């Protein structure tokens, strides 16, 4: 048995010395030292030895195991050092190289305009109100003085999901929801920003999806002069202190009287240019006094309270403010377009 152990030692050391791969090293460890390894097989024959031979053979077996374990340990350490060197080489950083400049993002021009408008009206005491983009026919039309089959509905070609649900065509439903939530309390002073949807063909000035900001004020003795003063302050903060407004009679089902609101051209100062088509004025929003029927739908007595409302397209404001000639630029994800507004 002693000769078998010595032969096993010579064979194992020779093979282990030639190992160049960690997996092969592990396989040889299992082959010689595992529970079913060759050293274990040899030692199973110790049961047939005499009491005098067992200590001698046991000592030889321990020497063989120690020699095999020693070379295996040395090989494992060498492999680990080699792996560490390879990782250090692969992951090294040349600190003398110039640093990589991180790209700085910017706020999208539409988001920037929304934030600017919100800041102006919050400064005037308004709060921001929001509502769902999928609306019921009642909130989108009926509660805004547009009953079923009303001809004015044709002005808004809608995306209906069911007979009663549609993608909202305006942010006006937020006004009704807010009025009902106030339970007749005053004052109401809100702006309602958000996306709206209409089945328009995409072109330079139209999109099936765009952004609106609407405003609503309800209280005692609210007059058209209050509306004009509010809009005058807004346009001067938005477009410059010399900007003036002009009100023209119009029609909206939810306001009476209703007006279209123009601003004096901030590019030519009202003298006439390409931007204002030589008129000196730019149309930017619609407004009016809240219709008595809408007040009733919102839970307010029109004999006791009055109010005004206005609505503007964010894209329209942004296009005028930044001289953009095509609404599609906002949605085409063209980085060369968006990067222009980093420092604006």
- Say which CATH number the domain at 138 has: 3.30.930.10
Beta strands in the chain (DSSP E): 127-128, 134-136, 165-167, 188-197, 209-219, 245-252, 255-264, 281-290, 306-313
Mean pLDDT of all residues belonging to the chain: 88
As for how many domains the chain has, the answer is 2
Q: Based on the domain organization, do 2 and 125 belong to the same domain?
A: no
Q: Based on the domain organization, do 175 and 27 belong to the same domain?
A: no
Structural domain ending residue among the three candidates 61, 89, 117: 89
* Residue 212 and residue 197 in contact, taking contact as beta carbons nearer than 8 Å: no
Structural domain ending residue among the three candidates 29, 58, 89: 89
* pLDDT tens digits, 212-251: 999 999 999 999 999 999 999 999 999 999 999 999 999 9
* pLDDT tens digits, 6-48: 787 888 788 888 888 888 888 888 887 887 777 777 676 666 6
Q: Based on the domain organization, do 61 and 120 belong to the same domain?
A: no
Q: Based on the domain organization, do 129 and 70 belong to the same domain?
A: no
Confidence of residue 343 (pLDDT cuts 50, 70, 90): low
Q: Based on the domain organization, do 141 and 174 belong to the same domain?
A: yes
Task: Kindly state whether residue 321 falls inside one of the protein's structural domains.
Answer: yes
The answer to the question of whether 256 is labelled as a binding residue is yes
Q: What is the pTM of this model?
A: 0.69
Q: Based on the domain organization, do 200 and 284 belong to the same domain?
A: yes
Taking CB atoms within 8 Å and a gap of at least 24, the contacts of 145-151 are: 145/253, 145/254, 145/291, 145/293, 145/294, 145/297, 146/253, 146/254, 150/253
Domain coverage including residue 175:
109-340
Q: Based on the domain organization, do 252 and 125 belong to the same domain?
A: yes
Task: Kindly state whether residue 256 falls inside one of the protein's structural domains.
Answer: yes
* Residue 161 and residue 137 in contact, taking contact as beta carbons nearer than 8 Å: no
Which are the contacts of 19, defined by CB distance < 8 A and separation ≥ 6?
Answer: 25, 28, 75
Structural domain ending residue among the three candidates 89, 119, 134: 89
For residue 332, give the nearest of 342, 324, 320, 323 by alpha carbon: 324
> How many Å apart are CA 167 and CA 30, to the nearest integer?
69
The secondary structure of the chain in percent helix, strand, coil, rounded to multiples of 5, reads 45, 20, 35
The pLDDT assigned to 175 comes to: 97
> How many Å apart are CA 216 and CA 229, to the nearest integer?
14
Task: Kindly state whether residue 98 falls inside one of the protein's structural domains.
Answer: no
Q: Based on the domain organization, do 154 and 263 belong to the same domain?
A: yes
Q: Based on the domain organization, do 168 and 317 belong to the same domain?
A: yes
Helices vs. strands in the chain: H and E counts, helices first? 11, 9
The pLDDT assigned to 227 comes to: 97
Residues paired with residue 289 on neighbouring β-strands, in sequence order: 308
Residue in the block written with tokens 């339970």: 183
Task: Kindly state whether residue 102 falls inside one of the protein's structural domains.
Answer: no
Task: Kindly state whether residue 95 falls inside one of the protein's structural domains.
Answer: no
């Amino acid at each position: 048995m002693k000769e078998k152990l010595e032969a096993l030692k010579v064979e194992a050391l020779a093979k282990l010395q030639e190992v160049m791969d960690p997996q092969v090293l592990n396989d040889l460890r299992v082959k010689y030292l595992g529970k079913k390894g060759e050293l274990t097989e040899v030692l199973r024959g110790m049961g047939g030895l005499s009491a005098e031979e067992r200590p001698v053979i046991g000592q030889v077996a321990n020497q063989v195991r120690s020699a095999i374990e020693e070379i295996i340990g040395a090989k494992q350490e060498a492999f680990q050092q080699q792996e560490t060197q390879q990782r250090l080489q692969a992951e090294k950083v040349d600190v003398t190289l110039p640093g990589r400049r991180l790209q700085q993002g910017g706020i999208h021009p539409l988001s920037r305009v929304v934030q600017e408008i919100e800041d102006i009206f919050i400064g005037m005491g308004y709060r921001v109100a929001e509502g769902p983009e999928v609306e019921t026919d009642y909130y989108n039309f009926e509660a805004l003085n547009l009953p079923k089959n009303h001809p004015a509905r044709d002005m808004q070609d809608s995306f209906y999901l069911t007979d009663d649900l549609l993608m909202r065509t305006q942010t006006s439903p937020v006004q009704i929801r807010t009025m009902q939530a106030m339970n007749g309390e005053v004052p109401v002073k809100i702006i309602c920003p958000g996306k709206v949807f209409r089945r328009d063909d995409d072109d330079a000035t139209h999109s099936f999806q765009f952004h609106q900001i609407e405003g609503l004020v309800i209280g005692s003795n609210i007059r058209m002069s209050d509306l004009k003063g509010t809009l005058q302050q807004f346009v001067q903060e938005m477009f410059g202190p010399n900007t003036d407004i002009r009100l023209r009679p119009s029609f909206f089902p939810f306001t009476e009287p209703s007006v279209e609101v123009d601003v004096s051209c901030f590019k030519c100062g009202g003298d006439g240019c390409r931007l204002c088509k030589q008129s000196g004025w730019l149309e930017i929003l619609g407004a009016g006094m809240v219709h008595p029927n809408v007040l009733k739908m919102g839970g307010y007595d029109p004999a006791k309270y009055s109010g005004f409302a206005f609505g503007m397209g964010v894209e329209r404001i942004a296009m005028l403010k930044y001289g953009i000639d095509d609404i599609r630029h906002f949605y085409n994800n063209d980085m060369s377009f968006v990067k222009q507004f980093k420092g604006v």
